[in-house]
Structures are given as C-alpha cells and as structure tokens.
Structure 1
C-alpha cells in the first residue's frame, strides 16, 4: 500500500496535465471556431451532364482580412462562374447563437464530364485576424492562451481550408433511339405564335421557350418544319441560367407569301429526364394560323409536308364539318331573312331586354368562358363564342338560332359601328372557329383571347 501511494503521488501531476489539456483550446482552434469556410452543393449524386451548383462561403465572427491563396481543383467538370455583384454583399447568419458575417467566396456551376467519384479538394484562405485594437485592448480569444504566438501590428495570421467534397457522377443509360439527346435535366416546352391572323407579307414570330433545370448552354434550337410559302428568318435567342434553373427562348420571325390556313407540325425536344430517370421527348400539338386577303377570306390551306396522316385526317374532317354547318346556317338564314330585316328595322330589343342588358355587364356575359379558361380541349373556345353570340342577341336582338357572320355584319353596319371594330369582331369569331375545328386550339393564349373579346364588347 505504501508503494501504491507513492505511485499515485507521482502520477497525479500527469493526470492533472491531461485534465487541463482536455479542457484547453489552443488559439488556432479558437479562431477556427469563429472563422471557417463552408462548402455547399446542390447535389452530390448526379448524372454525367447534369449541372450542380457549388458554393464556398466564409463565415466570420471576427475582425479579419481574408484572401484566397488556393482554389479547389475541378478536374472532371465543366466549370461556369456564377458569382454576381449581389454575391459580393455579405449576409448575416447565426450559428449556435453567435452572429456571423457570411461572404460568398466562390460560386460555380459544375457539369460532370465523366462518371465515377469526382473529388473537389479544399479551398484555402489566408487570414489576418485583429486580436489587439489601436487602444491596446486584447480580444477575449487571447484570454488564457498558454502557447506562444506572435502578432504583427495586433494581427494574428493563419490559413483556413474547406473540407474536400466528393461528387458521385453516374453515366446516362444508353437509349435504343438513334435520336436520343445528350442533354440532361428536367424541362418544359411552350410554343406560341405572336399572331394567328395575318395578311400576306405581314411578319409574325414563332416563340419556343424551354424552361427547367439543365445545361442550357448546350441546348440547340429544336427543328421547325415550316409549311410551303412561309419564309423564316434567323432566330433571336434569349436565355438565363440562375442556380441551375433557367430558360432559353427562341423567337423566330417569319412571314407568308400567300393567303391560306397554315399548320406548323409538332416541334420536338429530347433529353434525359433526371426526375423520371429515362430518355424523354416532349412536344407540342401542331399550331395553325390564318393568312387572309383584305376581305378576310382565306384562299387555301397549307400544311408542312411532313405532317402526320392523323393531322390531315383531323383537318379534312374539320373542313367538311365547317362546310356542313355553313350550308345548314345558310338555308336557315334564307328562310328567316325577312324576319331578320324586320328585327333590324325596328327597335333592337324591348324595354325588358334593355333592363336585362343594363343589369348584366360584359363581364357577366363572358363569365362562363372565364370559368372554363383551364378546361382542356376546345371547350373554352366553344363557350367564348357562345357568350359573344348571346351578347349580340341581347344587344341587337339577333336570335341565336339565326346567328351568322353575314347577319352580324349587316346589323353592325346598320348600327354604324366603326369598320375597324367590325373587322376585329369578325376576325375574332373566325379565330375561334379555327380553334374549334382544328387541332391547334389548345396552344392559344386563352387569357389574350378572352381579354380581346372583353375589350371589343365593352367599346361597342
């Protein structure tokens, strides 16, 4: 027991030193708890060709001056700098209830060029930390420091580094399709026409917009099969890519040489979908537009030569249906022509109808169409046309059953409505007929059509 006591007495200082070392934090570690680099990646498990965003941020709770002395290596990646002027402004963030100034040091878009584990090594910064101010006051970090250290004009120098980051890149599965694209991402496509009612030589534009996530710099404009007698010009390209998401828009001017109804076939865009994990081709339905003579009559119909047989079948059926409707309406119109003349020459609506028209605004008449804005197919266009016809029934006493464009034109002329507004109303009805009896209606900006109808009716 006596010897054991001596041994304990001899080891006691050693245990004491170890106990102190367990509680003691060296100066460098104290500083690195208040000054460190954080690396963030939008994704660390991605496909080859899939863009990811990597950001290096400096967190500082100290008065320090910092500079980059070594950038990370991005071997195996295509690199694009994303840092903007807005990133130069530091933000404020609390970490364990300690307020930090957060500086964006580096922000890049990385696109893996090969599969496997790709390592981003550390970013290193040199820092001069102010530990003694001009009045000789010491920073609390110096309290209890046991190791020796040196200061230069009150500054302590040290280097800090980010931790390495591993990105796992997976190759895109092969596709049986010979037209499979190398573009990787998640996209949506919208195709619109700036105008759908034209006259010969009038310029319009086909607008193709791709939005979503992906390598927008690598995207090529989808192929457009233009109908005969359509002259297309070089596109204007507008694109934006922020934090891996963005858009690219192709605005393609064109003009037509001859009157007629034209159809631009479906436009296709292929890519590998990172959400569904498969090769995908997105497309739009064919888009129709009308080129008319000054009297508003189209002469012929033109479809691009590679339009599908199904499209042709729909068009032939639509044309036959329109002709049938015209014949039926023409017969009924002749049968009741005298009644229409009588209605036009007398008061256009009774006092009771006048009250109803005052009580029901244009918006009330158009409400059924507004309620069907998001309906699929041609339901919206049919409803909007019915709303317009009902409005003219109340306004001019033209019965719905006897409604034709010729009858409406006769009434508007008698009411001395301006020729330009007459033409606009008749063109609107023609445009609605195009969407009802062709397969291109779903691509129309329905809000624009509804607003056009509202403006025309409000100013009659």
Structure 2
C-alpha cells in the first residue's frame, strides 16, 4: 500500500507539472542574423507566448540602430493535439549605425497587469560590407535598393564629359537624391508621406547603402506599388530628369515635438564618356549621394474636449458590434465582434472598453486587420474578437460600446457608439458536450485555481499519511495549528485598525506635490492594488479584476463599491498605458481612489 501511494503521488505531480508548463507565459526576444555586416539589415522579434490581456510591449533601447520598419504585429492561436498555444509578436527591421559588438537589453511586456522581461541579445556587426547583390537580398525594400539603368526611359547627353568639365561638377548638376514630404507640420497620429527620390540625367547603376530610420513614428511602407513602373519624369529647377522612387512611406507620429527624418545614402556607379584624341572613351566613376534630413514639427492633440475614454485614435471612423450567436447555452463560449471602420491610424487602435453585464467573463481579445496600406491615411477595418462565457440564464443586455477619436478635418474630438446588444442565455442540457472552442478559450475561476486545488489535495494526503504512521507527530501538528490559528485571529483583530491608520496613497501624494510628477499613475496603480491585496487577503501574484471582485463578494461588500473598485482599476490602468499625457486627470482619479479606500477601511 505504501508503494502504491508513493507511485500515485509521483504520477499526480507529473500531471500537475505538465499542466503548468503547457500554459506558462513566456516573453522571448530573437534577432536574425546574429552576425551581420555594416550594410545588412537585422530583424528583432519580441514574442509573448500564452499570455492573456497583453496591454503593452516596450522594446529595448534601439538608439544604436536605424529603425527601418516596425513595429509590425503578428497574432496567432495554435491547437496541436488538443494543446492550445497562442502568441503575439512585434518585429522591427533594423540597420546598425556602426560596427561593433552590441548587447540589446531586455524588452518589457505587460501581461495581465504583470511585467515580464525578455532575454537580452548579442549582435556582432563587422566593418566589412557584403556585396551589393547580397545587400539587396537582406533589404526589406529589395525592389528599390538597386536598379540598373544602362538605358533610361529618356536619354540625355549629360554623360558626355566636355573639355574643362569636372566629374563633381557634372554630378552636382545632373544627379540629386532628395527627401520630399507632403507636409512639415502635423498632429500626433496624423500621417505624413515621406518620399526619397533620385533625380538623374546620367547613366548609372545605383544601390541604397543607408536606409533612413524613422524613430518616433509608426511606419507603413507604400513604395511597393511602384514596382511595375519605377521610372517617371519630373522637372526640377527648370530641367527635366528621370526620377526613381527609392522609398516611400506613410509615417504616424507617436509623440509631439520636433522629429528628424534621417537622410538616405545611395552608391552610384556612373558611366561617363570623354573625347580622347578624337576617340570616344567610356569610363566609370563611383559617387555616393546623400539626401538632406528634414525636421517634422508634431503638434500635441488638444486637451480641450478630450473624452475620458480617448486612447489616441486619429482619423474618421465608424463602429459596429455583433454577436456570433444571440442565443447560447451556459456551457458555450460566446463571441463579441467589435469592428472599427474608416481612415486613420488603424494599425494603432486598441479594443474599446466593454461594460459587461454581471457574471459575464470575457477572455483574451484577438485583433484582425483588413487594411489598405497604399491609402493615405490607412483605410479599411480592424476587428476585435472577444470570447466570453456566462453562467446566469435569461436575457442580458450589453450596453452601447463607446469609441472616441480625434477628427483631423474639424480638429475636434468625436465619440461614437454601437447599439445595445441583447443575448439570451439558456441552461445547458446536462449531457451536452463542451464545444471545442471552449477548450481553447474558457478558463473559469475553478480552472484557474485547479493547480492550487490539486496541490492542496496532495498536501492533505501526505499529512494524513503522516498522522496515520506517527501519532506523536499528529499531536505536535495539532498543537502548532492551534497556536497558528490563535495568531491568525489576533492578526485579523488588529488589521482593521492598522488599515485605518495607514496612508496607502502616500507616495502618490508626494508625487502630486512635486510639479514634475512623471510616475503618478504608476504609483497610484501600485498603491491602490497593495491596499486591495491587504484588505481582502488576495495573493499578490494572483491579483486580477476577477479575483478582487470575487474576494469582495465573499465578504459581502456592497455591489456599488465593487463596481467602483473595478472601474477605478480599469481607468488607472488605461491611463497608465495610453500614448498621451501621463498625468491627465490624475488628481481626479486620486481623489476618487482615496474616497473609496476610506469607505472600504
């Protein structure tokens, strides 16, 4: 019997361990290639695996690189042999600014209100340049990095070097690399179009050796649409040129201020002809052209009239929301699909807040983009699919879902809303089998605690075996348990008075007293959560909105106070990760939080 019991425990632990490993959240950083030449591109990828409610991914310091493209987002859910895994990744295409050995530091991801650090990375960049044909393969803009022009669409005679003319003089007069934009001033989130063009009247083979970086912008490249006809004709300073588009992108500023668009560099092998004793002699000359950088003045969005639920959306939008099914059973997973259509910074939109009815449990949101990247601003739609479960039968109403954006044309904020959505929940038939999609998404409170319950059962079995084989040990354990219970009771009796005396928002108050309070929301979030953890005896590592709501209901806190608590947690968290002024509305939220703490103490 003893041998059987030992084998049972070993098998039990193996199953529990396997369950934990399969669902563990991971944050991984990779870079390819890890050894590169100075003129090569590398791809940095930041991936969160098996993470729920990913609210932010912060890249490492990339000041040693030009950000050629990114962040580009990818989301997927995989189901292999019944094991569900999901990941969200951001990728950046980078070009090193110099040779050397680089350590790329940790990135940070915020998953279910918990911070994760990625691994650091090593990158070796050599001074040796790869050949031009290799560079093209590495470049994300290969179709534009090299173009052979032995016979341009329009021939000019400027390649003939006349007597007394110099090569620098010929190049300066007949070949220019220029950066052009459709505007030099814009709002945060309003796109500008940057185009790098080669104007030439000479015969050349050219390759892009320095791709411009766009730090401070979200980048959408649109130059691919010129693949079939890269050559056009334009007049510059009264002279006609063959014109080639090297790169064209729409850039969405992420922050206000003066931001520099970097220069591009182009290596050119130019063919000249000169008269040598009555004979035409051709020769080649290598010349590097560089465009001039440009400053873009980015204006902050106005504070006047900014809605509380504004999250940085700029453009013109419409919103719609539908249910996958309007009637579901209590053992089914429903799905709410919110779709935002229009033009603007669609790639940066986040899911609007949904005021779920009581006893609705939403799960991780999946976003689906359907964008026309050649339109400026971006046009198309972005959908947010939110699975959910319900345990209460009857007719329920999901209130209108609000979405606010800044309209560039009218320079005003606008708020739009969906219609209320009704859903009927019916009791499941006892014999009904759970649908497969529930396996992928549904994690009820009991399932989330399954590992803890299993360990508790295991601990109980071990304790009972010790009691059975050693009565003396049982007596000692009983005595210690009595002492422990008395200590716990004493602690609970003291706790209320300590809560009353302690100022849980002390650090937030000190920050507000300082004119330069940069971490106000971060401090308010940390201190408010600490109060709730201590007040309702919630394990810090298991803190979540669902856990707090359940803990408050267990001690019969009024529903109005529970809803106020959840509202404040969501508001503070939303402000914390918004790409806007970090201290907007901080005093108001601080006062509301302080009043709530006093009422709960």
Give the TM-score category using the shorter length: 0.3 to 0.5
Q: Tell me which of the two structures has the higher relative contact order, counting C-alpha pairs closer than 8 angstroms and 6 or more residues apart.
A: 1
Query: In terms of Rg, which structure is larger?
Result: 1
* TM-score w.r.t. length of structure 2: 0.36
More strand by share: 2
